Structure 1
Amino acid sequence: MKSFVAILALVAVAAADVAHILRSPEADASIVQQDADVFPDQYQYSYGTSNGISGQEAGVLQNPGREDEGIEVQGSNSWTAPDGQVIKTVYTAGKDGYRAEGAHIPVAPPVPEYILRALAFIESRPPQPQKN
């Protein structure tokens, strides 16, 4: 029984939280710049951290009081990837959805001309009746 308790104690020590030993320097980053202005119909904020992360965003209420009321947003953020590449994203959000741009974001290849012609042909044909 004593050996069982001793083995259990060794397992507990081995399974102890060692996150503080493996802690990344990124975990100690601090905010070095921060600004925010919030109003009923608009807002803006920006921030920067000691490890080079930064961001900013501004939003404006569009069509207040109407059924299609919504916020239009523009913003950006950037950071440095582990390989040293600076990743920057610029985005907008609003009635047309969320759109992000950045050199790191994959872009779909162009649709081949023959596919566009086939789609136009299919669209020009009347729908066929469904057979049950």
Structure 2
Amino acid sequence: MKLFVVAVCLIAAAAAAPGSPAETAARRALPALQHEEIHDEFGQYALRYVTAEGTVVSERGRLVPTPDGKAYVLITEGETSFIGDDGKTYVTKYSAGLDGTRVEGAHLPIPVEATA
């Protein structure tokens, strides 16, 4: 009888465990809960979507003139957040443009800056 009770408890705990691989795969197969995109004739855009598993992506691209004013560059800025397998929320912010590419996130390693 004790073995039966222990077995039932283990099965119930396994079935209720959040983030099981099968459950995660099923949620990832679902379509986005929210999806918005805006584009203009110049290539500028804004987008945002939220998935069933809790991933949120937002990004925008806008044209800015180069310092000499002869051309335009598409500046991209965005943020992605997701819930990891450990249950924590991870947020990554990024941008790319005239000043190069930057990526920030508390979960990312901090680069070492060279000194002269």
TM-score, length of structure 2 as denominator length: 0.67
1:80 to 68, 79, 83: 83
SS of 2:33's partner is: strand
Runs in 1 of length 4+ with deviation above 4 angstroms? none
Q: Which runs of 5+ in 1 are unaligned?
A: 1-21, 120-132
Q: Which runs of 5+ in 2 are unaligned?
A: 1-20
Name the structure 2 match of 1:55: 57
SS of 2:47's partner is: strand
Name the structure 2 match of 1:103: 106
Name the structure 1 match of 2:8: none
Name the structure 2 match of 1:45: 47
Aligned mates of 1:62, 1:108 — CA distance in 2: 28
**Greater radius of gyration (CA):** 1
Cα distance per residue 1:40-75 (max 9 Å; x no partner): 2321010001110111111111128x5442101111
- For the Cα contact (< 8 Å) 2:28–2:52, is it kept in 1? no
Amino-acid identity (%)? 27
- Measured after TM superposition, the shift of residue 36 of structure 1 is 0.7
- For the Cα contact (< 8 Å) 2:57–2:78, is it kept in 1? yes
Q: Which has the higher contact order (CA 8 A, sep 6+)?
A: 2
Aligned mates of 2:93, 2:105 — CA distance in 1: 6
- Cα distance change of structure 1 residues 98 and 109 upon mapping to structure 2, 3 Å threshold: closer
Amino acid at match of 2:65: N
Aligned mates of 2:95, 2:108 — CA distance in 1: 15
Name the structure 2 match of 1:19: none
Name the structure 1 match of 2:33: 32
Amino acid at match of 2:75: E
Amino acid at match of 1:80: I
Aligned mates of 2:79, 2:100 — CA distance in 1: 16
What's the RMSD between the two structures over aligned residues?
A: 2.3
Query: How many residue pairs are counted as aligned between the two chains?
Result: 91
- Measured after TM superposition, the shift of residue 109 of structure 1 is 4.5
Aligned mates of 2:73, 2:101 — CA distance in 1: 13
Aligned mates of 1:84, 1:107 — CA distance in 2: 23
- Measured after TM superposition, the shift of residue 77 of structure 1 is 0.7
